[in-house]
Structure 1
Amino acid sequence: MGRVLLVFLGIMGFLGSCRTPYDPEIPATELQILVVEGYLDTEGKTSELKLSRTVPLSSEASMLPELGATVMLRGQNGQQFDLTEKGDGIYLFERNIDESQTYVLEILLRSGERFTSEELKPIVTPEILDGGYLRDEDGVEVFVSTQGNAEADDFLWTYEETWIYRPRIRTTWIYDPQIRDVRLRTEGEQNSLCFKTETSPDIILETSSRFQDQVVFQRTIVEIPVGDERIMERYSILVSQKGIASKDVQFWEILKKNTEDIGSIFSPLPSLIGGNIKGLDNQTPVIGQVSLGVIRQKRIYVNRNDVAPWNYIDPQFNDCVIAENPVMIPEYTTVFGNGSIVPARELMVGTTIVGFFPSSRRCTDCTLYASPVRPEFWEDN
C-alpha cells in the first residue's frame, strides 16, 4: 500500500520540481483515491487486505486508513467468506477455500460506495525448494530457490525481518523511586534484549520460464551489507513466496519501476497504475491489486558468529560511555530521579555497594528502539 502511495506522490512531486513554485488548488476530494492491496491465502494462513485513501501532499500522514468497510470473498457457487476488520485499514482473511473455483472480492465502504475485483483464480504456488544465505566480502545475501510450472510461472516474494537488538551498554540495575534506592531489575523490567521487526519495502519478481526446467535458483531476496545492525547478534527472515497470474505481472512491474526510478528530474514519469479493482458507482477512483492463492513460507536464521567478522558499530552511540565519576547514595534521587541518567555499574567498598557509575538511558535501554517482547516464533538455535 505504501508503494502505491509513493507512486502517486511521485507524480505530484515531479510536477512540483519546476523552477517556479506552483501550488495547484486541487480539491481534497480529488485526492481521495482508494488504494487496495492484498494477497489472500487459500489454505488458512492469516493474510491481509489493506484499504486506504491517498492524502494531500500537505498532509503529515502518508495514508488514510479506510475504516468500517465490509469486505467479502464470493465464490462462483455463491458461497461467501467475510474478512475481519483488524484496524488501521487492515482486513484479515483466514479461510481454507476450494482452489478449483473462481472468486471475486467485494468491498462496501461506510459511504455506501461499492467496489469489486476482476474474477480471481487461485494459484497453487509451488513449494520453496531451498532457502539460505551466502557470505561474501560485501555482506550476506539471503536467497530462495523454487521451480515453476504451467499454472505458476510468475512469482512475487515478500519478507518480514526480525533481529535481536542490544543497547550499547547493558545494565541490570534500576533506580526505584518508591524506595529511593537502586535495585536489580526484574524480568519484566529487563531492557538489554529487544527485537526489531520490519516488513519488506521491495518488490521482488521473477518468471520461472526464463530458466531451464523453470528452476529459479538462489533468487536473491535481500542483501545485508557488512556491519549492518540486523546481524548484531541473531537475525531471522520470513520469506513468503506467492504465485501470481501472468496478467497481473504488468501491474507489479510498473509499480516496481516507478518506486525504484522516481527520485530525479531525469527519472521517467510514473506510469498510470490501474490494477484489478473497479468501482461500481463511478465515484471514488481506485487503484490496487488483489491476488488469491497459496502462500509458501520459509524462515531463515543468520547468527553473527556464522558470518564473522561483522564489526557492527552504530555511530549514533559512539559517545556512549560509563562515567568515571560515581553517583553516591545521597545523590541517587537527584541524579537518577528523572530517568535520563541510569545506574550502570556498582561501586563497591569491600562487599558493600556505596554508589553507581552512571550512563545515559539512550545508551542502555533497547526498549527506546525496539520491543522487549520475544516473538512467538523465535528460536535461539
Structure 2
Amino acid sequence: MRIEQKFLKKIAIVVFIVLLPIGCIEPIDIKTETFESALVVEAVISDNLEPQEISLSRTFRLEEDGPSPESNARVTIVDDLGNEFLFAESEPGKYLSLDPFKAMEERSYTLEIVTQENRLYSSEPETLPEAAEITGLVAERVTYQGEDGMALLVDVQGPSKNAGFYRFTYEETYKIISPFSYPLDLKYENGSLVEVPKTKEERTCYNTKTSEEIILASTRAQVDNDLERFIVRFINSEDPILSHRYSILVNQFSISAEAYSYYETLKDFSGSENLFSQNQPGFINGNMVSVSNPDEKVIGFFSLAAVEQKRIFFDFEDFYTQEEAPEHFIDCVISRPEITVPEHIEALGEMLASGRVKYLGYTQVAGGPGEGPYMVVDAACVDCTVLGSNQKPDFWEE
C-alpha cells in the first residue's frame, strides 16, 4: 500500500534546506548549502492477503529533480513469534514480499532494513488496529464551500470501545466520449493527403486517477465511534469528469493513533504553500530509527492498517436533470489549414502524423482567406485515447 509520495518528497526537500532571510524580493537561484542524506520509508501493511509493498528512497537536494531510489537493500518484516516475511526488489526502490501475507490481530510486527552500505534501520513494533466497516457510500448533489457539485459521502461503523482513526484514499474512473468523430484518418503520402480507415476505437474511453491528498478522519472527539456523512471527495459540477458516467472506489485504512498523528502533521505541513514560511515544523518524526547511528534522521512511518473498500457508480443525469453536461476537457475549435502550395500540404501532414490534430472530414464549402478544404481539430476532441484508455475496465458497470 503506497502513501502519498508527493508529501514525502516535499518533506525530503525541506528537512535539510538552509532557511533564507525573510523579506527577500530579488529572484534567487536556490541551492542546498548543507545536505544530509536521509532514508525515506513508505510502508503500510494491510490485513488483506496479498503481496505487500515497501518503498525506499533518499532525500534529495533542492536543485535535483527528485528522490533517488534506495536499491539493493535487505527488507524483512518480523513478527513477535519470530516469523520472517522477506521482500525482494521488483524495481528500483520498490520491494514486494516474496509471498502474499496479511497483518494479523494480536500479533506485532517490526520492519527491518539493511542497506547496501550495511546500515541497519528498524521500526518500533506495530499492531493491527481494530477494523471498522464502511456501512454506506453515497453520491449527493450539494453546495460545498459555496460551490455546486457532487459529494461522495461515507458512513463508517467504528470500533465498539476505542476511538477510530482513519485514512482514506480513492480511485476514480470516468467515462470519456469524444465530442467529434469521423470514420477516416488523413495521412500524407508521396506529396498528397490520403484518407485511410481508422485502426482503433477513439470515441469512448475511460480514465482512472488516484487521490493525491491526505484524507483523515477520527472519532476521538465524539461520544460514539461511528463516522457519518464524511466527505471523501467533492467534485465541482463543471468538472468534465462528471460529464457522462463516474465511479469511485473508496479505500478506508483503520490506523493507529500514532500513525494518524504522523499523517496529520504531514498533511498540515503539505498544506503550506510557502516552503519558507516562519511556521516550519522542522523534522517530522516517524517510528523508524537508525540502529547503526541513533543520531541519523529517518523519514517515514511503518504502519499496519485494516482495510475496507466500497465502490459506487452514477451518471451526470442522475443528479442534473435540467442542466447541460460540463464542457469537454479542452476547447474544440475546428480549423481548415491552408494547402495552396506543396509546403502547406506537407506541414498539414506533419501535424496529423505528430498526433496534435485529428481529421474531421473534407468540405467543398468555400472558406475564408487562407482556409483549405480539410477540417482538423485538436486530437483530444476526436481521439479519446489522448485522455484515457479505450479498454473498458473489468469492474465497469453501465
Figure out how many residues of one structure are paired with residues of the other and give that number.
Answer: 367
Compare the two structures and name the one with the higher helix fraction: 1
Q: 1:39 aligns with which of 40, 44, 50?
A: 44
1:96 to 82, 95, 102: 102
CA 1:152–1:296 in structure 2 vs 1: closer, same or farther (change >3 Å)? farther
Provide, for residues 92-139 of structure 1, a one-character-per-residue CA deviation record: whole Å limited to 9, x for no partner: 354135332111111222232221111011124212111111102410
Matched, 1:345 2:346: no
Q: Are residue 272 (structure 1) and residue 286 (structure 2) matched?
A: no
Taking the aligned partners of 1:270 and 1:166, their CA distance within structure 2 comes to 46
8 Å contact 2:15–2:283 — kept in the other structure?
no
SS of equivalent to 1:214: coil
Counterpart Cα distance in 2 of 1:310 and 1:223: 19
Cα offset, 1:324, TM superposition: 5.8
Change (3 A) 1:117 1:147: same
Aligned to 2:376: 358
Query: Counterpart of 1:142?
Result: 152
State the 1:241 CA deviation.
Answer: 0.8
Deviations 1:185-231 (CA, angstroms, capped at 9, x unpaired): 23xx2233333332222222222243343111011111111211321
The correspondence for 1:108, drawn from 108, 114, 118, is 114
Check whether the contact 1:141–1:224 (CA below 8 A) recurs between aligned residues: yes
Q: Give the 5 Å matches for 1:146-225.
A: 146-149=156-159, 150=161, 153-175=164-186, 181-186=194-199, 189-225=200-236
Instruction: Output one character per residue of 1:278-329: Cα deviation in whole Å (capped at 9) or x when no partner.
Output: 1121285211112113211111223222232364235x733x233468989x
Match of 2:240 among 225, 229, 234: 229
- CA RMSD in angstroms comes to 3.3
Counterpart secondary structure, 1:210: coil
The aligned amino acid for 1:259 is: S
What are the within-5 Å matches in structure 2 for residues 71-86 of structure 1?
A: 71-86=75-90
Change (3 A) 1:134 1:322: same
Q: Pick the aligned partner of 1:335 from 332, 336, 348.
A: 348
Distance 1:163 1:267 in 2: 41
Structure 2 residue runs without a partner (length 5+): 366-372
How many percent of aligned residue pairs carry the same amino acid? 25
Q: In structure 2, do the counterparts of structure 1 residues 280 and 301 end up closer, same or farther at CA, with 3 Å as the change threshold? A: same
TM-score by length of 1: 0.83
Cα 1:118/1:195, change in 2 over 3 Å? same
Q: Return the TM-score normalized by structure 2.
A: 0.80
Mapped to 2, the partners of 1:317 and 1:257 lie a distance apart of: 33
Q: 1:313 aligned to 2:327?
A: yes
1:322 to 334, 343, 368: 334
Distance in 1 of aligned mates of 2:154 and 2:360:
43
Where in structure 1 do 4 or more consecutive aligned residues deviate above 4 Å? 10-14, 20-25, 176-180, 264-267, 324-328, 330-334, 346-349
In structure 1, the partner of 2:19 is 15
